[in-house]
């Protein structure tokens, strides 16, 4: 029986584990945490379900949607809207930026002038959300350049510039050079305001969200919890687990590669998150259909999420979270070339049968839940 080691028990590790177990493999999954699921695990405060930040399922891939739906039935949330708060305007506007909001902005005339001067191929382009599409040959030298060409300088500073510096903890956001993930469909929207009208937007119907995936994994697969892999040979696939020397035929890694290869090519930088949860004595905190709000100015936080919008939890109260970028945790790989170069060196070390997947394992912010599931299924198919 072939032996596979799976490093990390988030959704990527668990889907890989369940599928390989079905194929008759001898699966060992190791996770540094005490419970499976990482940020997708639903927990409860006063009966209110929540995850670590919003974890809504967004995809263009119907196969991945149907696959996930067959394990945790999903509710479509096509109505999902986002709002951005612009403190200096004392106003909330739709995000993605919406044409119909511009007349409400104090600099409306200036913005309209700037928009008239934009090249149509930037202004009107349909961006293929999360797919990393190179957007029909559009050329922009970096993230800032891309946005200024798409929306002009005034809208840029209002919605994107300060937010991005805060989000990525950077003094100068122009060092961001991967921007294919940035706009949600289009840079400026017309028509309906739902944020994800070009993709499937969904969330598990069950009160405990994605947890069935983690419970199934725990019941079917050998899981070593509370154990951190800190060193593994990328060629021979030998490692030590709980003091025992072990050797595997295949390894599927979902965690940062510097952590398991002893930082041999240097440390990869990630932005972390602090999240505060607050139960409020009101039925709803955000307007109907608004699932979360972004904060684009000098506030320390970037996002407020109302979990009820996803979970449909029935209560006279509501649970919100306030999310602030920080150095706690390794969650968001930086979309900058110098860091991707380091990641490439790690990826270049992997021998036959050693796979690395997901946002952390591939060091790519673009990879969301759907991409991680897709990559897991691909690896399972190919081994």
Ligand X SMILES: Cc1cc2nc3c(=O)[nH]c(=O)nc-3n(C[C@H](O)[C@H](O)[C@H](O)COP(=O)(O)OP(=O)(O)OC[C@H]3O[C@@H](n4cnc5c(N)ncnc54)[C@H](O)[C@@H]3O)c2cc1C
Q: Starting from the edge strand earliest in sequence, which strands make up the sheet with 26-31, in order?
A: 222-225, 26-31, 3-7, 250-253, 354-356
- Phi-psi map region of 58: left, alpha, beta (phi>0 left; psi -120 to 50 alpha): beta
Residue of this chain nearest to ligand X (CB atom): 10
Using rule CB under 6 A, residue 152 touches ligand X: no
Using rule CB under 6 A, residue 53 touches ligand X: yes
Using rule CB under 6 A, residue 122 touches ligand X: no
Rounded to whole angstroms, the Cα distance separating 377 from 299 reads 40
Cβ proximity to ligand X: between 38 and 83 the closer is 38
- Which residues ranging from 214 to 243 are in contact with ligand X (CB under 6 A)? 228-229
Structure token pair of residue 127: 């961006």
- C-beta separation of 40 from 209 below 8 A: yes
Smallest gap, in angstroms, from Cβ of residue 4 to ligand X? 15
Close Cβ partners of 106 (under 8 Å, ≥ 6 residues apart) = 89
Using rule CB under 6 A, residue 56 touches ligand X: yes
Smallest gap, in angstroms, from Cβ of residue 247 to ligand X? 17
Structure token pair of residue 341: 């170069």
Binding span for ligand X by CB under 6 A among 29-37, 163-171, 287-295, 340-348:
29-37
Residue from 13, 96, 204, 335 that binds ligand X (CB under 6 A)? 13
Query: How many residues does this entry show for the chain?
Result: 383
**Selection from 36, 55, 72 nearest residue 254 by Cα:** 36
- Which residues ranging from 317 to 346 are in contact with ligand X (CB under 6 A)? 331
Smallest gap, in angstroms, from Cβ of residue 268 to ligand X? 12
Count of positions on this chain that bind ligand X (CB under 6 A): 35
Query: Is the bond preceding 55 in cis, omega lying within 30 degrees of 0?
Result: no
Binding span for ligand X by CB under 6 A among 47-55, 76-84, 159-167, 196-204:
47-55
Structure token pair of residue 288: 């109907």
Cβ proximity to ligand X: between 149 and 166 the closer is 166
Task: Report which secondary-structure segment, H or E, holds 7.
Answer: strand 3-7
Cβ proximity to ligand X: between 156 and 367 the closer is 367
Cβ proximity to ligand X: between 173 and 323 the closer is 323
1: three-class secondary structure by DSSP: coil
Q: At what angle do helices 11-22 and 369-382 cross, to 10 degrees?
A: 30
Binding span for ligand X by CB under 6 A among 55-63, 195-203, 235-243, 340-348:
55-63
In the chain, which ranges are continuous DSSP H helix?
11-22, 62-71, 108-116, 120-123, 143-151, 153-155, 162-167, 211-220, 257-260, 307-311, 337-347, 358-361, 369-382
Using rule CB under 6 A, residue 33 touches ligand X: yes
Using rule CB under 6 A, residue 258 touches ligand X: no
Using rule CB under 6 A, residue 270 touches ligand X: no
Residue from 18, 20, 27, 30 that binds ligand X (CB under 6 A)? 30
Binding span for ligand X by CB under 6 A among 5-13, 94-102, 186-194, 344-352:
5-13
Cβ proximity to ligand X: between 160 and 379 the closer is 379
Cβ proximity to ligand X: between 155 and 250 the closer is 250
- Which residues ranging from 58 to 117 are in contact with ligand X (CB under 6 A)? 58
Close Cβ partners of 180 (under 8 Å, ≥ 6 residues apart) = 127, 131, 132, 133, 134, 135, 366
Q: Which residues bind ligand X (CB under 6 A)?
A: 7-13, 30-33, 38-40, 52-56, 58, 228-229, 254-255, 259-260, 273, 331, 358-360, 367-369, 372
């Amino acid at each position: 029986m072939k032996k596979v080691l799976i490093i990390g028990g988030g959704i990527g590790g668990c889907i890989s584990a369940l599928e390989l177990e079905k194929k008759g493999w001898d699966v060992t999954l190791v996770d540094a945490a005490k419970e499976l699921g990482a940020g997708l695990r639903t927990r409860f405060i006063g009966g209110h379900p929540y995850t670590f930040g919003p974890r809504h399922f967004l995809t263009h891939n119907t196969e991945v949607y149907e696959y996930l739906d067959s394990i945790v039935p999903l509710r479509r949330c096509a109505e999902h809207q986002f709002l951005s708060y612009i403190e200096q305007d004392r106003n909330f506007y739709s995000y993605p930026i919406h044409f119909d909001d511009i007349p409400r902005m104090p600099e409306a005339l200036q913005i309209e002038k700037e928009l008239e001067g934009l090249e149509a191929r930037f202004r009107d382009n349909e961006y293929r959300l999360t797919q990393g599409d190179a957007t029909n040959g559009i050329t922009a030298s970096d993230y800032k350049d891309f946005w200024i060409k798409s929306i002009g300088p005034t809208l840029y500073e209002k919605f994107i510039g300060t937010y991005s510096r805060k989000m990525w903890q950077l003094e100068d956001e122009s060092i961001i050079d991967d921007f294919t993930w940035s706009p949600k469909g289009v840079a400026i929207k017309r028509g309906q305001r739902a944020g994800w009208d070009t993709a499937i937007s969904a969330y598990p119907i069950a009160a405990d969200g994605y947890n069935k995936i983690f419970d199934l994994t725990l019941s079917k697969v050998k899981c070593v919890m509370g154990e951190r892999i800190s060193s593994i040979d990328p060629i021979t696939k030998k490692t030590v687990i709980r003091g025992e020397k072990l050797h595997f035929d295949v390894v599927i890694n979902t965690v940062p590669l510097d952590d398991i290869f002893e930082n041999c090519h240097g440390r990869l930088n990630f932005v972390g998150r602090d999240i505060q949860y607050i139960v409020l004595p009101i039925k709803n905190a955000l307007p109907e259909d608004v699932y979360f709000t972004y904060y684009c100015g000098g506030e320390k936080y970037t996002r407020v999420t109302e979990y009820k919008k996803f979970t449909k939890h029935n209560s006279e109260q509501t649970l919100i979270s306030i999310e602030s970028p920080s150095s706690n945790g390794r969650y968001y790989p930086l979309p900058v070339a110098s860091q991707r170069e380091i990641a490439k060196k790690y990826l270049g070390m992997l021998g036959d049968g050693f796979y690395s997947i997901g946002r952390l394992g591939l060091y790519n912010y673009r990879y969301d839940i759907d991409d991680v599931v897709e990559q897991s299924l691909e690896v399972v198919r190919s081994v």
